[in-house]
């Protein structure tokens, strides 16, 4: 009998009237519904992620293209600046060139050397004025202390009347544009022979 009671108990457990069993079935149904919802949501989420990826990829490609265009524009502007940057300066110097042409024509008609000298002085001053307007500055040398950044010494001259390392003569004028030296002044520098 003991065995029959146990079998009977097992049958009761398998009976559909078991409240715990119904909850398990309901739980299974809920789980299946959730799985279906997750499966249904997953394709939507994948599509959203795919759209976001495509959107970001398009933004990246546009940004890369914009940067490439910017780089090309900068290269063209740099090339144009190097090629035509001196146009303004040359336009200003053309006035001086015209003066030289007029002076050359007037040489045929002049017998006066003083007139040629005055014409030369006028044209030279005009050229210097134009170059100063552009920013060219003459480097002062004679009487100044030797500065290797501005002067190039080509001779050392013994001198007792000038302090040591003083520029006593200038062989060629030096020029600078702003802070940049275009050409150093060629100079002779004093040297005291004190023992």
Per-residue pLDDT reduced to its tens digit, 103-145: 777 766 667 677 777 877 888 888 888 888 878 888 888 888 8
Query: What does the pLDDT read at residue 31?
Result: 65
Alpha carbon distances (Å) from 163 to 95, 145, 152, 159, 184: 43, 9, 18, 8, 21
Number of independent structural domains in the chain: 3
Same-domain pairing of 6 and 80? yes
| Domain extent at residue 193 | 137-195
Q: What pLDDT does residue 8 have?
A: 53
Q: Which residues of 7-32 are buried (b: 16+ CB within 10 A; e: fewer)?
A: eeeeeeeeeeeeeeeeeeeeeeeeee
Query: d(Cα 65, Cα 57) in Å, to the nearest integer?
Result: 12
- The reply to whether 129 and 142 lie within a common domain is no
Tracing tokens 């789980």 back to the chain, one arrives at: 31
Task: Please tell me whether residues 114 and 53 are part of one structural domain.
Answer: no
What pLDDT is recorded for position 115? 74
Look at residue 164 in the predicted model and tell me its pLDDT.
84
Helices 113-134 and 87-109: angle between axes, nearest 10 degrees: 180
Same-domain check for residues 97 and 152: no
Stretch (H or E) spanning 25: helix 19-84
Lookup result for tokens 């802070």: 179
Shared domain check, 186 and 143: yes
**Residue ranges of the chain whose pLDDT lies below 70:** 1-43, 86-87, 90, 107-110, 112, 194-195
How many other CB atoms sit within 10 Å of the CB of residue 138? 13
Same domain as 48, residue 22: yes
pLDDT for 189 equals 92
Does residue 124 sit in the same domain as residue 149? no
| Close Cβ partners of 21 (under 8 Å, ≥ 6 residues apart) | 15
Residue 2 structure tokens:
């003991």
The pLDDT value given to residue 195: 39
């Amino acid at each position: 009998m003991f065995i029959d009671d146990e079998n009977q108990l097992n049958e009761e457990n398998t009976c559909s009237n078991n409240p715990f069993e119904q909850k398990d079935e309901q739980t299974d149904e809920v789980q299946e519904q959730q799985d279906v919802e997750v499966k249904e949501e997953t394709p939507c989420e994948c599509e959203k992620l795919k759209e976001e990826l495509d959107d970001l990829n398009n933004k990246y490609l546009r940004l890369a293209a914009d940067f490439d265009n910017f780089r090309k524009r900068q290269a063209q502007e740099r090339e144009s600046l190097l090629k035509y940057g001196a146009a303004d300066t040359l336009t200003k110097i053309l006035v001086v060139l015209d003066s030289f042409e007029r002076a050359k024509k007037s040489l045929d008609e002049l017998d006066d050397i003083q007139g040629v000298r005055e014409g030369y002085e006028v044209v030279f001053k005009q050229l210097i004025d134009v170059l100063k307007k552009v920013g060219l500055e003459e480097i002062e040398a004679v009487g100044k202390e030797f500065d290797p950044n501005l002067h190039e010494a080509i001779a050392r001259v013994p001198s007792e009347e000038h302090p040591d390392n003083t520029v006593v003569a200038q062989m060629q004028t030096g020029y600078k544009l702003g802070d940049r030296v275009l050409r150093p002044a060629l100079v002779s520098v004093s040297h005291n022979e004190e023992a």
